[in-house]
Amino acid sequence: MAKENTKYIFVVGGVISGVGKGITSSSLGLILKNRGLAVTSIKIDPYINVDAGTMNPTEHGEVFVLSDKDETDQDMGNYERFLDVNLTRINYMTTGRVYQSVIERERNLEYKGKCVEVVPHIPQEVIRRIKEAGKKAEADVVIVEVGGTIGEYQNMLFLEAARMMKIEHPHDVIFVMVSYLPIPSKVGEMKTKPTQHASRLLNGSGIQADILIARAEIKLDEKRKEKIALSCNILPERIISAPDVDSIYDIPLNFEKENLSDRLCSLLGVTCKKPDAKKWNAWKNFVRKTHNSKGIVKIAMIGKYFETGDFVLSDSYLSVIEAIKYSAYAQGRKPVFSWLNSVDYEKNPAKLKELKKYDGIVVPGGFGARGVEGILSAVKFARENKIPYLGLCYGMQMIVIEYARNVLGLKDANTREVNPDSKNIVIDVMESQKEHLKNNSYGGSMRLGAYKAIIKDGTVARSAYGKKEVEERHRHRYEVNPAYIEALEAKGLVFSGRSPEGQLMEIAELPKSKHPFFLGTQFHPEFLARPLTPHPLFTAFIKACIKK
Ligand code: GLN
């Protein structure tokens, strides 16, 4: 049921991209939830892509999959993790998605012969979606993050929607601007001018920010606060200093040091409860561990979507990293990640020895043939040298291929994805998907979203989960070929998780007697790891790493 008077907070970004709108939005959500309000979050991405599924992870970062199959932006993962909720398709929108709906509706004559125009019909569809998300979540507050930066062409129609909503509901809509204050190294002084300009640009869209989050390397001083207040029409107490922090999880705590939830509640005109001490302490405890964990655990991440120019982009695997952190912190350890490019092991097999330095190896999801032989040699190395190994999706398929090749002796074993001509395709598409692939309908051929799995008694997975039935999120096209299961199991590989009908292999592992931890999942457990409830499989892996 819809709440009578849902409130809306639009979060927009000024000056540069990457100022932390996503984390700000997530943190606003958390501090309001902590005041007893029901909160939901929406991400707006200005690009035309209908979803994030078709985007290159090196350029765009991780594709975050929701339980209802939607392929979205990594910020959705931040919202889910901070708010500890499961979001759905209606919480995510792109320009492509909005236009698609409007065009479909036009084709269905739903506009009753009217001329359908960019304004107002596009912003109206945006507003419809925002309200529907609020209704669906029975939210007191909907936080809407508008992607992109103020002043660019791409997000104009979303700002127009926000402006229109404010006209329609003057007392229910507020705006938070996240801006950046640079300190040019040669000048050595924090500069407010870009923020002043961003604020004017926002005014040009008919929007006045109510709250300003001042992102900068260091804390904002009083003098600059006053300057911004005067030039941007924002009372000084509504300007929140947000200096760089070591851990993103500090941010909600820092916001509350400036009483931000009180200010938001009074601006929104909602009565809220006292902060929930128990929940808040749980968060504080978690944050303390992110800082105070003494020992380390050294994790080798082997993959290929790491490099962009001269930089290493770990964003492609954001959820995996966070999942590892939660499990490590819970054990009082700090994870230290090394990003290893599997292609190097193809060029120089002697380099594999470096893997002995690590407490554990993770092979996260991936697509395509590049680097696969290098990954397979690393998996073999991990198996033979008893280094804890966790394979996620492609990383599980690698377990099966490696085992088929080196234990079953099927030298050309492969996945159809890499070599469709191999005689031993141990990872294959299922019959039902073949039709989709023939028609180039790649989206339709993926297994996406949450599916149940049944966990076999007496296995590593079963003791980690502590239960028989689980539900995990998927994003893949290929499956273990049923024709090889018997042979693989006969030689000691255990399929410890299967789909309820028993047809699809969900988890492959070696028993504890053979290897300290050697396990792969066809699904992506990382999508369900949360700060206060680490994922059991990651925790089992980290425990094995610590033992090593
Ligand atoms: N490329 C593999 C598949 O499509 C694995 C996908 C993944 O790792 N997400 O099945």
* Distances in whole angstroms, Cα of residue 300 to Cα of each of 312, 337, 475: 14, 6, 23
Show the 3-state SS of 297-332.
EEEEEEECCCEECCEECHHHHHHHHHHHHHHHHHCC
pLDDT tens-digit profile, the chain (548 residues): 456 789 999 999 998 888 899 999 999 999 999 999 999 999 999 999 888 887 777 677 789 999 999 999 999 999 999 999 999 999 999 999 999 999 999 999 999 889 999 999 999 999 999 999 999 999 999 999 999 999 999 999 999 999 999 999 999 999 999 999 999 999 889 999 999 999 999 999 999 999 999 999 999 999 999 999 999 999 999 999 999 998 999 999 999 999 999 999 999 999 888 888 999 999 999 999 999 988 999 999 998 766 545 555 567 889 999 999 999 999 999 999 999 999 999 999 999 999 999 999 999 998 888 899 999 999 999 999 999 999 999 999 999 999 999 999 999 999 999 999 999 999 999 877 676 666 666 556 789 999 999 999 999 999 999 999 999 999 999 999 999 999 999 999 999 999 999 999 999 999 999 999 999 999 999 999 999 999 999 999 999 999 98
End-to-end CA distance of the chain: 52
Q: CB–CB of 24/242 below 8 Å? A: yes
- Kindly tell me the number of DSSP H helices and DSSP E strands found in the chain: 19, 23
Q: Any catalytic annotation for residue 115?
A: no
- The confidence score (pLDDT) of residue 307 equals 59
Residue in 60, 474, 476, 524 annotated catalytic:
524
Please give all residues whose beta carbon lies within 6 A of any atom in ligand 1, as ranges: 365-367, 393-394, 417, 475-478
Show the 3-state SS of 118-142.
HHHHHHHHHHHHHHHHHHHCCCCEE
Return the CATH number of 7-284, one of 3.40.50.300, 1.10.3720.10, 3.40.640.10, 1.10.287.990. Answer: 3.40.50.300
The closest alpha carbon to 210, from 247, 170, 249, belongs to 170
Pairing, β 389-392 against β 71-73: unpaired
Q: Specify the length of the chain in residues.
A: 548
| Beta-sheet strands, E only, within 181-320 | 211-216, 239-243, 295-303, 307-308, 311-312
Question: Which ranges constitute the DSSP H helices of 67-192?
Answer: 74-83, 95-107, 118-136, 156-168
Q: CB–CB of 320/392 below 8 Å? A: yes
Contacts of 137 (CB under 8 A, 6+ apart): 38, 40, 85
Q: Any catalytic annotation for residue 526?
A: yes
Instruction: Note whether 7-284 and 293-547 share their fold.
Output: yes
| Beta-sheet strands, E only, within 268-411 | 295-303, 307-308, 311-312, 333-341, 360-363, 389-392
Q: Which of 302, 397, 475 to mutate to test the pocket of ligand 1 (most atoms within 8 A of CB)?
A: 397
Q: What is the DSSP letter of 154?
A: T
Distance, in Å, from the CA atom of 465 to the CA atom of 474, rounded to the nearest integer, reads 18
Distance, in Å, from the CA atom of 406 to the CA atom of 464, rounded to the nearest integer, reads 28
Residue in 479, 506, 526, 535 annotated catalytic:
526
Structure tokens at 467: 């239960």
Q: Which atom of ligand 1 is nearest to the CA of 365?
A: 8
Strand, coil or helix: what is 262?
helix
Within 10 A of 285 (CB to CB), how many other CB atoms are there? 11
Contacts of 439 (CB under 8 A, 6+ apart): none
Distance, in Å, from the CA atom of 483 to the CA atom of 307, rounded to the nearest integer, reads 37
Distance 18 CA to ligand 1 centre (A): 28
- Domain residue extents for the chain: 7-284, 293-547
- The confidence score (pLDDT) of residue 285 equals 95
For 62, phi then psi, to 5°, come to -65, 145
Q: How far from chain centre, in Å, is Cα 259?
A: 28
Distance, in Å, from the CA atom of 232 to the CA atom of 216, rounded to the nearest integer, reads 17
Distance 387 CA to ligand 1 centre (A): 23
Q: What is the DSSP string of 8-61?
A: EEEEEE-SSS-SSHHHHHHHHHHHHHTTT--EEEEEEE-SS-SSGGGS-HHHH-
Q: Which helix (H) or strand (E) holds 388?
A: none
Bridge partners for 211 per DSSP: 176
Reported pTM = 0.93
Ligand 1, atom 8: nearest CA belongs to which residue?
365
Distance 224 CA to ligand 1 centre (A): 50
Q: Which of 319, 416, 417, 526 to mutate to test the pocket of ligand 1 (most atoms within 8 A of CB)?
A: 417
For 240, phi then psi, to 5°, come to -105, 125
Ligand 1, atom 9: nearest CA belongs to which residue?
365
Within 10 A of 315 (CB to CB), how many other CB atoms are there? 17
Strand, coil or helix: what is 358?
coil
Distance 365 CA to ligand 1 centre (A): 6
Distance 524 CA to ligand 1 centre (A): 10
Q: How far from chain centre, in Å, is Cα 19?
A: 17
- The confidence score (pLDDT) of residue 442 equals 58
* Distances in whole angstroms, Cα of residue 32 to Cα of each of 10, 27, 529, 530: 14, 9, 22, 18
For residue 360, the one-letter residue type is: G
Distance 213 CA to ligand 1 centre (A): 39
The closest alpha carbon to 71, from 473, 420, 548, belongs to 473
Bond preceding residue 46 cis, omega within 30 of 0: no
Residue in 232, 265, 393, 545 annotated catalytic:
393
Which residue bears the tokens 């129609």?
Answer: 157
Within 10 A of 320 (CB to CB), how many other CB atoms are there? 27
Ligand 1, atom 6: nearest CA belongs to which residue?
476
- CATH code 2.60.120.10 for 293-547: no
- The confidence score (pLDDT) of residue 437 equals 64
- The confidence score (pLDDT) of residue 275 equals 86
Radius of gyration of the chain (CA): 25
- The confidence score (pLDDT) of residue 223 equals 93
Q: Which atom of ligand 1 is nearest to the CA of 417?
A: 1
Contacts of 546 (CB under 8 A, 6+ apart): 295, 297, 331, 333, 359
